[in-house]
Structure 1
Amino acid sequence: MIKNLAQFTSEEKVIKKIFEIISSLFSPKTIIYVSITNNKMTAIKSIPPNIKNTEFALKKLMSTEENYYLFEKKKGFIIKIIHSKELLGFIEINEIEYPQYLNRYLNIAIVISRICGLSISNARIYQRLTKTLEELKLSNKDLEQFAHIVSHDLKQPLTNLIMSLHILKSNIIEDNNLMLEKRVEESAFNLNSMIEKILELATFGHRNENLIKIDCNKVLKQVLENLSSIIERRNAIVTYTKLPEIYANEIEIIQLFQNFIDNGIKYNKKKNPEIHISVEKVGADWSFSIKDNGIGIYSKDFNMIFEPFNRVGNGIKKSGTGIGLSICKRIIERLEGRLWLDSEIDKGSTFYFKIPIKEDLS
């Protein structure tokens, strides 16, 4: 059974097999695994589920150079999982059926922990390589779309700028100078907006991935302040229920809600665009919904709108780069979530996303 550990490509599968081995060898009542990444707890697995009373034992073990700690009643122990001097996690084995063999069990567990360390390290390397390959595939696809937008979408406002400036310089049509100045300003604004969005997409994968606890209610208030100009100009109504605290990158969550709300107002023919944001707890996930009363999206375009540089107007003049929803999708996927939508033409769209509920592991 132990030899098979090397074949697993995910940490979760390694730990599942380790739990099976420990259960068959020691018959403990509880097994707890604490995953460590960069000296921080990132996950806890246990049998039975949802056991988290490991703090005392962890503090004891962290304060010593020993690789294990025996519980006072001598019915179990907790062991460090180390590979190449890197701390990868802890395994706690408690309430062993035959505590008189505790020392023998401890020696066996130390050997298992070394094999476990190697297997977890290999699994993490494999996952990082897989993620890198997926990002490279996405990058290659984005480069093709990038070439299209540079050759076509960016070319148009740039051409308008050059022509308008040439006319102004030549004073060919003096009476229309004000109109030309407005066209120059508009073209420059569009060009700048496109470049900013392209840079935003290009640098997305290089951000700091450290997640912090953020209050979505405070984030949404910031978003509404950022969008106050378009909300007032369009007489839009944005409502929301009480939102949860989540672990995420605050800037990305601001982007997420801002893109959804901005699109709900921009692609809307109603006198009063309406956007409603709600959330509910579904199992181990937070399930968010962002509903608008806009123009709607044809079902054939559902998948396309999440790709970079794709825009769906449905009767409204298309503007922007078509990058916003692509960034939303990537933000949610970085949080191990999923994004999808329902929509009906002329009645509106509802965007849904689910993200796992993260426990406080700080």
Structure 2
Amino acid sequence: MTAPTRVLIVDDDPGDRKLLRRLLNDIEIETSAEEADSASAALTPRDTTPELIFLDHLLPGTTGLALLPDLRRLYPRTAVVLMTGQGSEDTAKSAIQQGAVDYVSKKQLTAASVSRILRRGLETARMRAQLDEQRRELETFAHVLVHDLRAPVNSVRALSEIIAESVAEGDLETVTREAALVQRSARLMGDLIDSLASYIRNDRVPQRLRTRPNSIVTSALTLLEGEIGKRGARIRTELCDTAFDCDPPQVSLLVQNLVANSLRYSEASPPEITIRARLAGGWMEFEVCDNGPGVPADKRDMIFEPFRRLRGARDSSGTGLGLATCRKIVQRHGGRIWCAEPPDGRGACFRARFPMVAAPMAAARTG
């Protein structure tokens, strides 16, 4: 079962909106359409992200070209098609330069052309998003090589020199101590490489199966048994029994990363972590809350960027890719993740929403 393709029609003419709705109903692609009759209505945040926007060029007080950059910022993964009553080569050129995937005269709108525009637009947007992700991953990879691996490599080099000198002097106590530090540096490098590999690997298209939250959470907690036992953490779960479409290993990794994040930052003894899964409209919503120090309101967006970490982690070995990986997993599923206000006003609380059924294209946002 595939979810309808989400379409937003931005046009101040009721007749044109009605015509486009009728054409969408006549094509073989199942769609779910919303309407906006002004720029402000188009920029109003929605519970679901549109996958394609039909944008009229002439709007009250503005133009589609003027509105296009704002829509691209609000919905960076969404395909935008500019429409106009009168064809213009200059307008078409400007639209494509500003990020529109297509340009069409309203006189040319038919069921066949709308179907073609929809298919081509979604594919173009998907390819653009993939290229953007690959570019960001190259930047991430370069960052790791240039900055994050340098410290443990330099540490191993310096410790090796000390070990060589100590061996020559017969100082076995120093050799033993420094060898343990070399092993620690090697583990840090290994953890960093594993984290980077996980971040990049989760770029693949999810392989969705009908899955219940309990199996996902059980898998995540099994992999964290050692750290949970070491911290004496108290884990409480409140999980609904409704199945939804997802890639189970990816969503399990998301829960694992969120719980590991709570364990890393919590200075409470013992840490208390609550994991919930519940229905929220047409979404499956996971929630992980803890009794740690929480996340300042002005930092709740930036923590999802690669290598952005808050001060105060009791375990400084984190790589700064855990929440970035969570965001990527949610985006590939067409969902949403954010750092929410804790229910009781203390600790940190993360929520991730996944569509109940598979969407044809992931077009998620954070926040």
Partner of 1:232: 229
Partner of 2:86: none
Report the Cα distance in structure 1 between the residues aligned to 2:191 and 2:207, rounded to whole angstroms: 28
Partner of 1:352: 351
Aligned-pair identity in percent equals: 23
Q: 1:212-291 maps to which residues of 2 (within 5 A)?
A: 212-243=209-240, 244-291=242-289
Report the Cα distance in structure 2 between the residues aligned to 1:262 and 1:132, rounded to whole angstroms: 33
Calculate the TM-score normalised by the size of structure 1.
Answer: 0.65
Q: 1:282-301 maps to which residues of 2 (within 5 A)?
A: 282-301=280-299
| Cα deviation digits, residues 104-162 of structure 1 (max 9, x gap) | xxxxxxxxxxx645532431221121122133234334433433332221111111122
Structure 2 vs 1, CA of residues 238 and 134 (structure 1 numbering), >3 Å: closer, same or farther?
Answer: same
Identify which range, 315-324 or 126-135, moves more after superposition: 315-324
Unpaired runs of 5+ in structure 2? Answer: 10-16, 34-109, 361-367
Question: 2:151 matched to 1:156?
Answer: yes
Letter in 2 for 1:350: C
Report the 3-state secondary structure (helix = DSSP H, G, I; strand = E; otherwise coil) of the residue aligned with 2:348: strand
Structure 2 vs 1, CA of residues 150 and 16 (structure 1 numbering), >3 Å: closer, same or farther?
Answer: farther
Indicate the structure whose relative CO is greater, using CA pairs within 8 Å and at least 6 residues apart: 2
Contact map agreement 1:32 1:44 (CA 8 A) in 2: no
Report the Cα distance in structure 2 between the residues aligned to 1:16 and 1:337, rounded to whole angstroms: 29
Report the Cα distance in structure 1 between the residues aligned to 2:313 and 2:224, rounded to whole angstroms: 23
Q: Which runs of 4+ in 1 moved over 4 A?
A: 10-19, 31-35, 43-46
Contact map agreement 1:34 1:44 (CA 8 A) in 2: no
Deviation at 1:34, TM superposition (A): 6.6
Q: 1:48-127 maps to which residues of 2 (within 5 A)?
A: 116=111, 119-127=114-122
Partner of 1:167: 162
1:334 to 326, 332, 335: 332
Report the Cα distance in structure 2 between the residues aligned to 1:16 and 1:328, rounded to whole angstroms: 39
Report the Cα distance in structure 2 between the residues aligned to 1:150 and 1:343, rounded to whole angstroms: 36
Partner of 1:129: 124
Report the Cα distance in structure 1 between the residues aligned to 2:288 and 2:123, rounded to whole angstroms: 32
Report the Cα distance in structure 2 between the residues aligned to 1:234 and 1:126, rounded to whole angstroms: 50
Calculate the TM-score normalised by the size of structure 2.
Answer: 0.64
Letter in 2 for 1:165: S
Report the Cα distance in structure 1 between the residues aligned to 2:329 and 2:226, rounded to whole angstroms: 25
For the aligned residues, what is the CA RMSD?
3.2
Report the Cα distance in structure 1 between the residues aligned to 2:300 and 2:143, rounded to whole angstroms: 21
Report the Cα distance in structure 2 between the residues aligned to 1:165 and 1:343, rounded to whole angstroms: 48
Unpaired runs of 5+ in structure 1? Answer: 1-9, 23-30, 36-42, 47-114
Partner of 1:100: none
1:198 to 192, 196, 199: 196
Report the 3-state secondary structure (helix = DSSP H, G, I; strand = E; otherwise coil) of the residue aligned with 1:348: coil
